[in-house]
Structure 1
Amino acid sequence: MREAADFLIQAASSGQRIVVLCHRNADPDAVASAVVLAEAMAGLGGRVKAAAADDLAAISEAVLNSFSRKIGVNPELDFDLAIFVDTSSFGHLGEFGQKLKDSGIPFAVIDHHKPVEEMRQLAKFYYVREDITSESELIYRILTEMGVKLTPDQASLLLVGVISDTGHFRFANPDTFAVVEGLLKAGADYNRALDLLKPPDDLSRRVAMLKAAGRSELQRINGRLIVFSDLGSFEGDAAGMLVRIGADVAFVGSEEKGEFRVSGRASPEFLKETGLHLGEMMEELGKQFNGSGGGHAGAASVTGKGSFEEVKKQIVKMLQKKLVKAE
């Protein structure tokens, strides 16, 4: 932690142009981490801005608007250093990631997902803590080590990130709540954070959830309930919904023009009993299907080339192998 703090302090004082960059379709945890870290480094005299690859999730735009914050998308490659947050590989940056990789611009990784050895080898600085439940929690700890005092809005933004990425604390641990206490002491507004994370009660989302339920396909593997469904939007929300109504693990995906994307969610009990790590599974699927994947033990995603049906068959094979060993 101290090493990460020292690296960021030095970078802020170096005079370099720095972009704190998060993954495509950036979620609240990603944008909160990027914005607050960029502001903190700018407060130390750095030439720093926050950015995301490709696009932001709708809920992330709403969160940032609530705090009168903005974040750039696909910034010009005119900076001297990129700092990846909530982003474990170039693949999570989409087409922009390939452009950045080809540019040769130095980059650092500060992340809480499963480590990626290629990135460790290429990065100017690499700090990954998979045991930490959200990127916002990791950024809070590092900023505390740096001696940065958060504003109430910054603390609230990070609290939104923590709540979001822990599934409203379903995946939290004791250290998570210690960070929440620190954020509240810094002025974070807990009720405001909860209100911002309420799912939009719009017709399109309700229809999507009903479609996902109606299209669901149930398979039993060693007594476990595995559910698949296809949907063109809200895939992560739909997978989470299927777990909440009874699935041990759910995968919701779509395909278009020979490419697919799949989001997976698993219940905490299932993860504890089986040792399954969805992030590892999605990373392997990404390699098999010429794409990229990763994430947490209980929430992960993958994109690649091929059909959703092909991916489903491979997921079943992987689960059969894993669950037979777990029994």
Structure 2
Amino acid sequence: MSQSSPTARPARELRDLLREGEAVTIVCHNNPDPDCLASALALGRIAAAAGVEEWRIAYSGEISHQQNRAFVTLLDIDLQPFDPAMARDRPAGSLLAFVDHSVPGRNNRVPADAPVDIVVDHHPAEDIDARFVDHREGIGATATIFTEYVRDLDADLDEELATALLFAIRRETLEFLRGTTRAEYEAAGYLHERADTALLRQLASPSVTGATLDAIATAIEHRRTRGSVLISNVGRTTERDALPQAADYLRTLEGVETAIVFGIAGRSIHLSGRTTDPRIHLGDALDDAFGDVGAAGGHQDMAGGEVPLGVFADYTDDDEALVDIVEQVISARLVAELRLSEESSG
């Protein structure tokens, strides 16, 4: 495994590895966001410039957040549904790359034993194993790393790619208010004059579906606070990406430092949380609470998780009763993990 560093010129190491391949499959994490999608697009462009004959971007889950859908549509990003065979049955000369995630089977549907060639990520992670690894937890966005690559390789940066990378950095750092480093400002300065400002405005203000508004309204109605922690649920929803939007909104409620929202989407329970409390590492807290039954984790101030309905669904075929059971069990685990008082207020 090669653990790259700024002094090792990781962009050139990456280019040299890409030149060994004839094709590369770039795997996004489940339900990819702009940081993941822009990074995948940048890696594809770098691969093409390195002489790779074929590259493709694959993802699992859904692209349901209105901003993510607008990102894919307006930038005309060609995506393919991920098939495990893409990782398991690769021909000689075919490379497998992860962007914005790092470990097979974690927040992706890649078989856990699949060998990975390239990993570029900024999320906390352990046990990363690949031929090329550029893992920088201190950086605010994976798109920042790819902007560095584009600069170091003097790659062709058209309006489309510049706009994608700039929007991804802005979105991932919440307009430079979360996890921002000097590298994000330098990357944004480099990208700004090359980006399409009109397109940036379109991406920043996509239309919102009625189902998203309904989910946020339900989260507001069901909120319960224990001290500075707010926990809410949206019941069953078709809008998984309404959960982080609800968490963002509820975190701004007076007296609230931590907001966690969960709900059932498809055959899984999804969670999303936000905090400004320095005593809580939200990614670790959700991992400790749900890592034994699902996948959860993230940053200190922003995290999420997914728990298969599994055994919950075995208790009842009554959907209303199922929602009640999920609400009780998920809330109880959060209360226990965060050591909250059982007393709550609406």
TM-score normalised by L of structure 2: 0.79
Amino acid at match of 1:311: I
Partner of 1:140 in structure 2?
Answer: 147
- Does structure 2 retain, via aligned residues, the 8 Å contact 1:235–1:263? yes
Partner of 1:160 in structure 2?
Answer: 167
Superposition CA RMSD, Å: 2.4
Amino acid at match of 1:27: D
Q: CA deviation at 1:152?
A: 1.7
Structure 2 counterpart SS, 1:261:
strand
Partner of 2:299 in structure 1?
Answer: 296
- Residues 276-316 of structure 1, C-alpha deviation per residue, up to 9 Å, x if partnerless? 22222233334222x21222222211112464533332322
- Residues 73-103 of structure 1, C-alpha deviation per residue, up to 9 Å, x if partnerless? 2145154321111113334444x323xx34x
Q: Counterparts of 1:1-327 in structure 2 under 5 Å?
A: 1=6, 2-46=8-52, 47-58=54-65, 59-75=67-83, 76-77=85-86, 78-79=89-90, 80-94=94-108, 96-98=109-111, 101-102=112-113, 104-117=114-127, 120=128, 122-171=129-178, 172-185=180-193, 187-220=194-227, 224-231=228-235, 232=237, 233=239, 234-246=242-254, 247-255=256-264, 259-267=268-276, 270-271=277-278, 274=279, 276-289=280-293, 291-305=294-308, 307-320=326-339
Amino acid at match of 1:287: G
2:201 and 2:214 map into 1 onto residues whose CA distance is 23
- Does structure 1 retain, via aligned residues, the 8 Å contact 2:27–2:82? no
Q: CA deviation at 1:258?
A: 7.7
Structure 2 counterpart SS, 1:37:
helix
- Summarize the Cα distance change of 1:256–1:29 in structure 2 as closer, same or farther, 3 Å threshold: closer
Amino acid at match of 1:41: A
- Summarize the Cα distance change of 1:258–1:29 in structure 2 as closer, same or farther, 3 Å threshold: closer
- Does structure 2 retain, via aligned residues, the 8 Å contact 1:19–1:83? yes
- Does structure 2 retain, via aligned residues, the 8 Å contact 1:28–1:161? yes
Q: CA deviation at 1:139?
A: 1.4
2:171 and 2:60 map into 1 onto residues whose CA distance is 20
Structure whose residues are more often helix by fraction: 1
- Residues 112-152 of structure 1, C-alpha deviation per residue, up to 9 Å, x if partnerless? 000222xx2x3233221111111111211233233323112
TM-score normalised by L of structure 1: 0.84
Structure 1 counterpart SS, 2:338:
helix
Gaps of at least 5 residues in structure 2 are 1-5, 313-325, 341-346
Q: CA deviation at 1:225?
A: 3.5
- Does structure 2 retain, via aligned residues, the 8 Å contact 1:294–1:302? yes
2:51 and 2:249 map into 1 onto residues whose CA distance is 44
1:255 and 1:280 map into 2 onto residues whose CA distance is 22
- Does structure 1 retain, via aligned residues, the 8 Å contact 2:232–2:260? yes
1:311 and 1:218 map into 2 onto residues whose CA distance is 15
What fraction of aligned residue pairs are identical, expressed as a percent? 21
Q: CA deviation at 1:242?
A: 0.6
- Summarize the Cα distance change of 1:301–1:259 in structure 2 as closer, same or farther, 3 Å threshold: same
Q: CA deviation at 1:106?
A: 3.1
Q: What is the aligned residue count? A: 304
2:215 and 2:230 map into 1 onto residues whose CA distance is 20
